[in-house]
Structure 1
Amino acid sequence: MCLILVGLYSFIVNTRQAMYKQTLPILLASKSPRRQELLKSMDLDFKVRLKEVDESYPEDLLPAEIAVYIAQKKAEAFTTDRNDHLVITADTIVAYKNEILGKPDDAGHAFEMLTKLSGTNHQVYTGVCIASADKITSFYDVTEVFFNPISSEQINYYIKNYNPMDKAGAYGVQDWIGMIAVERIIGSYTNVMGLPTEKLYRTLSAF
C-alpha cells in the first residue's frame, strides 16, 4: 500500500503543470480586447503590436487547420520582432455544419449568422502560434457550443446594442447574447472568447 501511495504521489508531482517564468518580453499580435484581457488575467506582461495580414487560406483545409494556418501567417509578419520578443498570435473561427463563419460584413450578415446558430450547436476553433527568434510552435483548441433558440427581436437587439462585427460567428460568448443564448459548452470557455488560456499556459511553460 505504501509503495502504491508513493507511486501515486510521484505521478501527481511529475504531471503537475509547470510554473511559467517569463524570460522574454511578450508581444500580443491581436487587437482583440478579449485576448488582451485574458493575457492580463494570466498575469503576463505584454505589449500589443499590430500589422496588417492577409487572412485568406486554402479552401481544402479543415476548420482546425484554418485557425492554425492563419495564426502562423500572422506570426510570419513579425519575423524581425521575434529577435528580442516572444510573439503570440491567434485566430478564432466558428464552424457550423462544415460552414466557416468568420466576422460578419454588416448587420444583415450578422443577423443571418445568428439565425443559423439559433437552437443548434456549433464548434469554435482557436489556433495559436508562439514564436521566438529560434523556435515556433502552434496548437489549436476546439469547444462545442450549444445555443438555445433566440428570436429575431433578440438578435436585432444584440446587433444594435453590441458589436458583433469584430467577432467570428457574429457573437461574443461574454456578451449579452452569450448570457441568454448559450445553453452549455463542451470544452474551454476562454477558447470561445478567443484564447484557450489553459493550453496557452502549458505551451508557454514547455516552450
Structure 2
Amino acid sequence: MINTKIPIYLASKSPRRRKLLKQLGINFKVFSVNTPEDFLDGEHPVECVKRIALEKMELAKLKVKGSIIITADTIVVLHHKVIGKPVSKSDAIKILSVLSGKVHTVYTGFCVLNQKNDTMILDYEKTDVEFRKLLKDEITDYVDG
C-alpha cells in the first residue's frame, strides 16, 4: 500500500477509477461531485473532457483541504459522434452492441491537484479501442457483471 502524509481523494462515482487506484496500492478516500457532463456544440472531445475534469475539480476542492484530489471525465467517440454514458442496463447493452466489431476512440481528461503546494496537472489520454464482434450473451453478462 502506498501511503503519503497528504490525504488522497478520488472525486468520482466511477467504480473503474476506484479499482485502478486500488490496483496501484494507493490509499485514498472517495467522494463525488455533481457536475453537468454536457458535450458542447463544436467542442473537440479533448477540450470537453479536460473542461469537465476541471469543473469537477473546482467543486471537489471546496470539500477537502490540504489534500491531493483526483478528478476525471471520459467520453467515447464513434465516427465523429459522441456516445453518451448509459443511463440504464438496456442502454448499456445498446451502446455496446453498436460498438461491437468497431474501432472507437476513448478520451479521458484528468485533473490532479496538490493543495499543499497548489500544483495542478490538467491533461488527457486518447485511446483507440477495437472491439471484436461481441455475442449478445457476452454483452449482457458484461453489463450484469
Amino acid paired to 2:79: K
CA distance in 1, matches of 2:92, 2:61: 35
The 1-side partners of 2:138 and 2:26 are apart by 36
Give the one of 144, 147, 163 matched to 2:128: 144
Q: Secondary structure at the match of 1:37?
A: helix
C-alpha displacement of 1:107: 4.4
| Structure 1 residue 156: Cα displacement | 5.3
- Amino acid paired to 2:128: E
Q: 1:82 to 1:131 in 2, by over 3 A?
A: farther
Query: Shift of residue 80 of structure 1?
Result: 2.5
CA pair 147-21 structure 1, distance change in 2 beyond 3 A: same
**Aligned partner of 1:127 among 101, 109, 121:** 109
Q: CA deviation digits over 1:30-83, x for unaligned, max 9? A: 122221121122221110012222222422211122111111111111232453
- Tell me: CA distance 1:156–1:21, structure 2 relative to 1, closer, same or farther (3 Å): closer
Task: Determine the structure 2 residue equivalent to 1:155.
Answer: 136
Q: Write the letter of the residue equivalent to 1:163.
A: V
Cα separation, 2, equivalents of 1:108 and 1:83: 40
- Give 1:69's aligned residue: 51
Q: Secondary structure at the match of 1:91?
A: strand
Structure 1 or 2: more helix by fraction: 1
Query: After superposition, where does 1:55-204 map in structure 2 within 5 Å?
Result: 55-133=37-115, 134-150=118-134, 154-155=135-136, 158-159=139-140, 161-163=141-143
**Higher alpha-carbon Rg:** 1
Q: What do residues 98-144 of structure 1 show as CA deviations (whole Å, max 9, x unaligned)?
A: 11112123345334322321221111111110123323221111111
Is this contact kept in 1: 2:49–2:75, CA < 8 A? yes
TM-score (norm 1): 0.60
Partner of 2:17: 35
- In the TM superposition, structure 1's runs of 4+ consecutive aligned residues that sit over 4 Å from their partners are none
Supply the distance in 2 between the matched residues of 1:27 and 1:91 (Cα, whole angstroms).
15
Please, which runs of 5 or more residues in structure 1 have no aligned partner?
A: 1-19, 165-174, 176-207
Matched with 1:170 is none
Tell me the number of residue pairs that the alignment of Structure 1 and Structure 2 aligns: 142
Distance 1:122 1:32, change over 3 A: same
Larger relative strand fraction: 2
Sequence identity percentage: 35
Does the CA contact (< 8 Å) of 1:123 and 1:142 recur in 2? yes
Name the SS of the counterpart of 2:60 in structure 1: coil
